[in-house]
Amino acid sequence: MPSKEINAPGQVAFGKSKPRPVQKLDWRNYIVYFAFIGVLIYFSISLFDDGFVSTDNLLNIARQTAMISIMGVAMTFVISTGEIDLSVGSTTALASLTAALAIQSGFGMLGGLVAGLGTGLIVGLINGLLITRFVIPSFLVTLGMMGIVKGMAMWVTDTAPVPIINSAFNFLFGSGDIGSVPILLVWTLLATVAAHILLRKTSFGRQTLATGGNESAARFSGVKTHRIKLMVFLGTGLAAGFAGILYAGRMHAGRYTFGDGDELSVIAAVILGGTSLFGGVGTVIGTLIGSLMIGTINNGLIIMGLDVSQQMMIKGLIIILAVAFGKKAMKN
Amino acid sequence: MEQPLLMMENISKSFNGITVLDSVSFSVKKGEVHALMGGNGAGKSTLMKILTGVYSADQGDIFIDGKKVEIHNTDDARNNYISMIFQEFSLIPSLTVAQNIFLTRESKTSLGLLNDKQCIEETEKLLEELDVDIHPNDIVGNLGVGYWQMTEIAKALSQETKILVMDEPTSSLTQKETEILFSFIQRLKNKGYAIIYISHRMEEIFEICDRITVLRDGKFVATEECRNTDLDTVIQHIVGRDSNKAFEWKERPYSTDVTPVLEVKNLQAGSKVKDVSFKVFPGEILGIAGLMGSGRSETARAIFGIDAKEGGEILINGEQKTIKTAPDAIDAGLALIPEDRRMQGLILEHSVKENIILPILSKLKKGPVLDEAKANEMASHFVEKLRIKTDDIFKTSRLLSGGNQQKIVLAKWLANNPEILILDEPTIGVDIGAKTEIIDVIRELADSGKAIVVISSEFPELMALSDRVIAMHNGQVVKELRRTEIHSEEELQHAIQGN
């Protein structure tokens, strides 16, 4: 190790002439929080008489956004490595069906859980292996996988929904409330806390950010970047599988339409939250807020009485504006 | 005889049937600084990548302390106490200094979570020992390139190391910083580290190294004791022929009675450029010397309209010009060849031709479409003129050597036929052969009447090129010297200290 004698008298330290800028609180990292609060305040005032601020409605938002949030926290890892996973929506549908079929075939709640999560993990594994072993861009792999998995979900029961008559499963994975707290909110918070710790406090999380920040540098530093990428795709697979289970539990059925278009909401939530689409920078809490914000906007627009077409347009506009605003702030 | 700490014996390696290393042997003793030299493509980097486990050798053995070791990946290298400071930095810009230094080796709490506090404390201690004025929580991407280097070295030394490989460690450092690095290397040497030092800078090698090994075209040429050899012998080994006299300065005739092509008056920009004035005449090469942070590069950026100017005037051919953006500057006849060519100068994934014609696309139109024939002709012309070594003009720029990439950047700007060329560190990180060629090209350009500004931290380069040198310190021009008044590098070194 270097010794202290390196500080020989008369030596000038490296860059002592350049004063280090004081680290100031970087407000642009928190832009999504301000935006979220802004949206909440706007709807609270304009929709006060329509019951927007009622506990029921707010808990409803939590229920509606749970699946997006859970997939979002996993997607945060994928996007942090500079990759993308478009197959999560389709995986959700297939997982809801395999879980429902397992329960229908008498494997019980545990069987349903294993089938749903297993489905997600298999999709994630295939994605991850294709991306790391055959070095195919994740956009293409998961775009292809999105179609394949969706097709399988339609084919497996010939587009018929599969009812779930297992009240424990339905309670625990979607429909239940603990006291007045929806079980979906509990799952969301558990997933967020676990993912936050994983990203911020473990070497896996650090290596995920390193991989996205500069892949070759990470490799030179001893990060097994391919393993990291495989892991993050297993993560989105697992989360999509779990989201499928939650859809099934909430609707008491498996159905191929579940999760339709969710991949875009999930990616929007992650990017709105402040994770960089180019990799290297990620935030799980930001993703949760991004997801809640999208859910809140949806909810508010419905209460306002806007129809689906108007909702879609306004939602799209808000996402573009929020990201553009964040980008502009970053430049200054 | 003393047993070498590291012996690499008969190492061979080929890629796709092309032999890159052909039975090369190399050894380093404890407490020795051993220079590894050779032109681009000589095989230095490949040899070091084999040592550090990035590549595996096809043939040959590696011995450490006389014991044969197998190095197949970077972990193996680390377990054998081999650390490398990479030329292409191995840092993650989005992480902090501490996070980078301890990446994959973070200390953990009893719960298995990252113990950031301890990493930060250890980094702080390490940086203090190295006397580097950066904070463990600084985001690396926000630091200047010189600080990256120091972070890099801190990272290498943060783990137990016996053999330290430094690839062009001073390419981004100024004279002063280099001196500090050298006194630091001296101490590492005294502590018994074996240091492999890759550099193109001859004076550095003779200053710091004990032995020199030269490779050429993947083959071993010679290992010489530094004290028993001289510059000419080494250059001869490297190029395989007598060195040319490229570094010798020749007085070039030009007139200073005419209107200067470029005149900068009291330029102010940001915190780095406080008050800069200078003139450049047609056919003149003006050198700008200064330490890192003296505002050299920032001056160029401000003139060129990349950074906003806060005061002062730019006169081109005696006429005042408003340059707010880079296109304004190009229209005014300026060209800036930036310091970091890979980041700012080249689109590495594009071909040689595409890079060269990029600034003049609008002039190469045939109706609404690009005139491919003219573009090819243009590109071929510059490939020939600048002696760019490439199979053809359609080759991906990334596959070319550093010297040739630099020439593409030059070609790119020459295609636009600028009147004034500003070159920031034009030969950084290129081998001696390419360096002399680039110097020749710059001289030819000046001879053809262009006004040239060269920013460089390499004094021999400034001494070889400049007709006049201005020294910058703390954002101001502190001294102006005609080349004929400069008798030694020491005078320049004194000038840039600001006293």
Residue-number span of the structural domain to which A113 is assigned: 53-331
Say which of B113, B183, B474 has its CB closest to residue A201. Answer: B113
Domain-located, residue A44 = no
The answer to whether B306 contacts chain A (CB < 8 Å) is no
Q: What residues does B63 pair with on adjacent strands?
A: B7, B68
Contacts of B293 in chain A (CB under 8 A): 15, 17-18
Q: How many domains are there within chain A?
A: 1
Q: Which of B103, B115, B132 to mutate to test the interface with A (most CBs of A within 10 A)?
A: B103
For B139, the closest chain A residue by CA position comes to: A23
Q: Is the pLDDT of residue A257 over 90?
A: yes
Q: Is the pLDDT of residue B108 over 80?
A: yes
CATH architecture, domain defined by B262-496? 3-Layer(aba) Sandwich (3.40)
Average pLDDT for B322-350: 81
CB-defined contacts A:B, below 8 A: 132
Domain-located, residue A112 = yes
A235 or A35, which is more confident: A235
Domain-located, residue A31 = no
Question: What CATH code is carried by the domain that includes residue A178?
Answer: 1.10.3470
B6-239 and B262-496 agree in CATH topology: yes
**Domain ranges in chain B?**
6-239, 262-496
pLDDT digits (tens, 9 = 90+) for B118-157: 999 999 988 887 777 789 999 988 887 667 777 888 888 8
Contacts of B138 in chain A (CB under 8 A): 20, 23
pLDDT digits (tens, 9 = 90+) for B443-475: 888 998 899 999 988 777 888 899 999 999 888
pLDDT digits (tens, 9 = 90+) for A261-279: 899 899 989 988 888 888 8
Q: Is the pLDDT of residue A208 over 60?
A: yes
Query: Is A206–B114 a contact, with Cβ atoms under 8 angstroms apart?
Result: yes
Q: Which of residues 180-219 of B touch A (CB under 8 A)?
A: 180, 183-184, 187-188, 191
Say which of B78, B133, B191 has its CB closest to residue A222. Answer: B78
Q: What is B6-239's CATH superfamily?
A: P-loop containing nucleotide triphosphate hydrolases (3.40.50.300)
Q: Is the pLDDT of residue A237 over 90?
A: yes
Say which of B103, B135, B180 has its CB closest to residue A20. Answer: B135
Q: Is the pLDDT of residue A4 over 50?
A: no
> Which pLDDT score, from 0 to 100, does residue B437 have?
81
Domain-located, residue A23 = no
Q: A86 and A131 in contact (C-beta within 8 Å)?
A: no
pLDDT digits (tens, 9 = 90+) for A31-55: 778 888 988 999 999 888 888 888 8
Question: B93: exposed, middle or buried (C-beta count within 10 Å: 0-12, 13-18, 19+)?
Answer: middle
pLDDT digits (tens, 9 = 90+) for A77-86: 999 999 999 9
Average pLDDT for B335-352: 76
> Which pLDDT score, from 0 to 100, does residue A24 have?
45
Q: B187 and A2 in contact (C-beta within 8 Å)?
A: yes
